[in-house]
């Protein structure tokens, strides 16, 4: 029994973590690579060990012994035998099955003939098998490599993919020591390490996986470092045009690539170069159909040949947690191409983390947000939840409303406008840059008119967006309002205050992305401020608790306030 232990391990694979324990932070960081946060009330946080979290840990090189040693070091009580057995069994499964390649084609192999026979008879697996060679090897359909990996992972037997990758067309590229803008440029240690872990010296053990780092930590730079290591033609997929153009600016500023080599493929521009930066939206654009066409013909995606018609050696998925289903399906057929996923959080509200693991690759590198904050690579963040009251008329309307309407009523509470004014008055220093972000367009448009603050929505033309972003960056514009188009992949390094007036239900992913908008370190060392405006005693308050879960896992605490500024 360890009296100083900060965790209590339960036989249902859950871990209780005492947040007031002196060793709380070291315990949290120790278990983070192989657990998922379930809930985070005031005194005890609950984490869960899942099969997927164990396989992700195994893919980074952690063994069952490593996991058990970490648990023993921080546990107040002995590890339940059932938990130890589950960890050993499921972590040992990673690497039991391997996909390899030889002159005969792609094959699945294992070391245990009994286990291999069982796996080859699992529902759906026989359809992939072309022929057996002995008791430990079976040739499989090479074109369906990704589909087989996903099926086996979902069946509880993840595959270690060692089949290697196509070379792709060569592309000489290196990182500059001085950017085009004249600033010195070197990789940070963690950026260099993340790229090298992904590449794995060019061996078949590398080349596919996800890098998980907070917004503002330079994930784009890691992508460029991976390009410099692979030296091959690259397709970069991004969530929107603003993100695509940000990638292009960074590539031209920090690498030896030239304008004729880096091209944009979007709704506005359709050019293909040695490095092509495309949007998910353009890839999932369907061709115009007529009523006479079959249902199969109507499902054709016009721009999918961009994937297969060119000899890409590397594909980079920016904000990989946002991957739409059609791109998942196409990625299942592109398993011979190196794939790098970049994200601040692997959380998907649709529960499809398993598909990311199977088709893009396992989590290869992860650093707690607060660790990078302590090292000065991202800004210190002060998180606040401000409970806004409703007036009596709105309270009655809310009480009589159906559940769905209750969410809208509480989220669009007009009283929030006064709180926004109070925050803007409080943060009125010359260097303060304030982003206001929300879910409901009508709410944003009303507030934009009342406060005289420009608003960017999905309907704002790209040219106008770029102009407003540019004015915000150079300080001409101090305040900017954005709809959910501002959740990700906009580069506003000087944004230091974010006011969230409404959000998408209980989305943890969205909460993390929005905090990330203000995490770039400030030149004068100022902290970042994140204000979430929530109508008190409503459905919105309940959703807010779930939204905050991922950030709580990263070590952030929300200060609850009922008035702003607080009364001393």
- In whole angstroms, what is the distance from residue 50 CA to residue 283 CA? 33
Please report which confidence band the pLDDT of residue 42 belongs to, taking 50, 70 and 90 as the band edges. Answer: low
Six token digits for residue 367? 């650093």
Task: Please check the confidence at residue 306 and state whether its pLDDT lies above 70.
Answer: yes
User: What percent of the chain has a predicted confidence (pLDDT) above 70?
Assistant: 95
- In whole angstroms, what is the distance from residue 245 CA to residue 251 CA? 10
Task: Please check the confidence at residue 287 and state whether its pLDDT lies above 80.
Answer: no
Q: What is the pLDDT of residues 233-244, one digit of tens each?
A: 999 999 888 889
Residue 250 lies in a domain: yes
Return left, alpha or beta for 361; rule: phi > 0 is left, psi -120 to 50 is alpha, else beta. left
CB burial string 419-457: b at 16+ within 10 A, e below: bbeebbeebeeeebbbbbbbbbeebbeebbeeeebbbbb
Task: Please check the confidence at residue 553 and state whether its pLDDT lies above 80.
Answer: no
Tell me the mean pLDDT in the region 47-61: 87
Do both 215 and 114 map to the same domain?
no
pLDDT of residue 297: 41
Please report which confidence band the pLDDT of residue 289 belongs to, taking 50, 70 and 90 as the band edges. Answer: low
Residue 566 lies in a domain: no
Tell me the mean pLDDT in the region 216-227: 95
Task: Please check the confidence at residue 252 and state whether its pLDDT lies above 80.
Answer: yes
Please name the residues in contact with 359: beta carbons below 8 A apart, sequence gap of 6 or more.
146, 149, 150, 328, 331, 332, 335, 339
pLDDT of residue 224: 98
CB burial string 93-121: b at 16+ within 10 A, e below: bbbbbbbebeeeebbbbbeeeeebeebbe
Residue 380 neighbours by CB distance under 10 Å: 16
Task: Please check the confidence at residue 275 and state whether its pLDDT lies above 90.
Answer: yes
Do both 120 and 220 map to the same domain?
no
- Cis amide leading into 565 (omega within 30): yes
- Is residue 19 a contact partner of residue 41, using CB atoms and an 8 Å limit? no
Q: Structurally, how many domains does the chain consist of? A: 4
Residue 74 lies in a domain: yes
Say which residue, 488 or 428, is predicted with more confidence: 428
- In whole angstroms, what is the distance from residue 154 CA to residue 148 CA? 10
**Nearest partner of 221 among 242, 202, 249, judged by Cα:** 249
**Nearest partner of 483 among 460, 512, 464, 462, judged by Cα:** 460
Do both 393 and 534 map to the same domain?
yes
- In whole angstroms, what is the distance from residue 448 CA to residue 35 CA? 42
- Is residue 518 a contact partner of residue 495, using CB atoms and an 8 Å limit? yes
pLDDT of residue 116: 95
CATH of the domain at 335: 3.40.50.300
pLDDT of residue 294: 45
* pTM of the predicted model as reported, rounded to 2 decimal places: 0.82
Which domain does 464 fall in, by range? 373-561
- In whole angstroms, what is the distance from residue 9 CA to residue 15 CA? 5
pLDDT of residue 490: 66
Burial class (CB in 10 A: 0-12, 13-18, 19+), 41: exposed
pLDDT of residue 296: 45
Do both 199 and 262 map to the same domain?
yes
Do both 271 and 157 map to the same domain?
no
Task: Please check the confidence at residue 429 and state whether its pLDDT lies above 70.
Answer: yes
Do both 531 and 474 map to the same domain?
yes
Boundary-marking domain end, from 367, 385, 415: 367
Q: What is the pLDDT of residues 348-399, one digit of tens each?
A: 767 777 788 888 888 888 887 888 888 999 999 999 999 999 999 999 999 9
Residue 225 lies in a domain: yes
pLDDT of residue 234: 96
- Is residue 358 a contact partner of residue 146, using CB atoms and an 8 Å limit? yes
Question: Lowest-confidence range among 126-130, 141-145, 438-442, 451-455?
Answer: 141-145
Residue 32 lies in a domain: yes
Residue 184 lies in a domain: no
pLDDT of residue 293: 45
Task: Please check the confidence at residue 148 and state whether its pLDDT lies above 70.
Answer: yes
pLDDT of residue 366: 83
Six token digits for residue 24? 């709380």
Say which residue, 503 or 565, is predicted with more confidence: 503
- In whole angstroms, what is the distance from residue 552 CA to residue 508 CA? 10
Helices 219-230 and 241-254, packing angle to 10 deg: 60
Do both 196 and 344 map to the same domain?
yes
- In whole angstroms, what is the distance from residue 565 CA to residue 130 CA? 69
Distances in Å between the Cα of 363 and the Cα atoms of 158, 280, 346, 488, 566 are 13, 21, 9, 20, 41
Give the 3-state secondary structure of residue 138. strand
pLDDT of residue 295: 45
Do both 394 and 446 map to the same domain?
yes
Boundary-marking domain end, from 367, 384, 413: 367
Residue 142 lies in a domain: yes
Distances in Å between the Cα of 389 and the Cα atoms of 138, 397, 533, 537 are 65, 14, 10, 8
Boundary-marking domain end, from 367, 393, 415: 367
Please report which confidence band the pLDDT of residue 282 belongs to, taking 50, 70 and 90 as the band edges. Answer: confident
> Please, what is the average pLDDT of the chain?
88
Do both 235 and 354 map to the same domain?
yes
Do both 407 and 547 map to the same domain?
yes
Do both 308 and 389 map to the same domain?
no
Do both 402 and 486 map to the same domain?
yes
Six token digits for residue 393? 């008329």
Distances in Å between the Cα of 99 and the Cα atoms of 138, 196, 242 are 10, 22, 38
Residue 285 neighbours by CB distance under 10 Å: 15
Residue 294 lies in a domain: no
pLDDT of residue 491: 67
* Sign of torsion over alpha carbons 218, 243, 53, 23: positive
- Is residue 315 a contact partner of residue 338, using CB atoms and an 8 Å limit? yes
């Amino acid at each position: 029994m360890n009296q100083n232990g900060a965790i209590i391990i339960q036989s249902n694979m859950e871990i209780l973590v005492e947040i007031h324990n002196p060793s709380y932070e070291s315990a949290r960081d120790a278990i983070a690579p192989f657990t998922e946060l379930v809930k985070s009330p005031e005194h005890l946080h609950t984490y869960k060990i899942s099969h997927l979290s164990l396989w992700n840990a195994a893919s980074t090189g952690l063994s069952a012994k490593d996991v058990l040693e970490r648990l023993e070091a921080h546990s107040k009580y002995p590890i339940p035998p059932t938990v130890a057995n589950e960890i050993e069994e499921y972590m040992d499964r990673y690497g039991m099955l391997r996909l390899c390649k030889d002159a005969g084609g792609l094959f699945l192999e294992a070391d245990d003939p009994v286990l291999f026979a069982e796996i080859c008879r699992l529902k759906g697996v026989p359809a992939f098998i072309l022929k057996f060679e002995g008791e430990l090897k079976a040739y499989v359909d090479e074109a369906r490599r990704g589909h087989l990996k996903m099926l086996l992972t979902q069946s509880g037997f993840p595959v270690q993919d060692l089949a290697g990758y196509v070379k792709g067309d060569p592309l000489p590229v290196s990182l500059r020591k001085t950017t085009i803008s004249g600033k010195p440029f070197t990789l940070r240690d963690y950026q260099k390490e993340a790229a090298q872990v992904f590449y794995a010296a060019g061996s078949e053990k590398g080349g596919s996986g996800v890098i998980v780092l907070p917004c503002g930590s330079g994930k784009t730079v890691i992508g460029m470092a991976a390009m410099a290591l692979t030296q091959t033609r690259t397709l970069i997929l991004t969530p929107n045009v603003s993100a695509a153009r940000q990638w292009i600016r960074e590539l031209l500023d920090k690498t030896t690539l030239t304008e004729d080599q880096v091209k944009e493929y979007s709704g506005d521009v359709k050019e293909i170069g040695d490095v092509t930066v495309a949007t998910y939206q353009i890839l999932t654009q369907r061709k115009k159909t007529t009523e006479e066409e079959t249902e199969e013909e109507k499902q054709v995606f016009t721009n999918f040949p961009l994937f297969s018609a060119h000899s890409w050696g590397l594909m980079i998925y920016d904000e990989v947690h946002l991957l739409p289903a059609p791109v998942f399906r196409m990625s299942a057929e592109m398993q011979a191409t190196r794939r790098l996923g970049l994200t601040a959080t692997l959380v998907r509200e649709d529960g499809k983390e398993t598909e990311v693991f199977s088709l893009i690759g396992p989590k290869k590198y992860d650093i707690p947000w607060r660790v990078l904050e302590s090292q000065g690579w991202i800004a210190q963040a002060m998180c606040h939840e401000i409970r806004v009251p409703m007036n009596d008329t709105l309270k009655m309307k809310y009480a009589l409303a159906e559940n769905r309407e209750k969410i809208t009523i509480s989220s669009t509470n007009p009283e929030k406008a006064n709180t926004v004014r109070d925050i803007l008055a409080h943060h009125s220093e010359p260097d303060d840059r304030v982003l206001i972000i929300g879910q409901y367009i009508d709410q944003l448009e009303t507030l934009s008119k009342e406060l005289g603050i420009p608003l960017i929505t999905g309907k704002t033309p790209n040219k106008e967006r770029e102009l407003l972003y540019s004015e915000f960056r150079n300080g001409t514009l101090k305040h900017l309002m954005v709809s959910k188009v501002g959740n990700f992949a906009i580069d506003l390094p000087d944004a230091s205050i974010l006011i969230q007036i409404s959000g998408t239900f209980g989305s943890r992913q969205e909460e993390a992305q929005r905090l990330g908008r203000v995490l770039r370190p400030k030149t004068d060392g100022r902290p970042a401020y994140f204000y979430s405006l929530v109508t008190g005693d409503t459905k919105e308050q309940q959703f807010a608790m779930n939204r905050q879960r991922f950030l709580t896992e990263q070590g952030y605490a929300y200060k609850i306030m009922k008035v702003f500024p607080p009364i001393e």
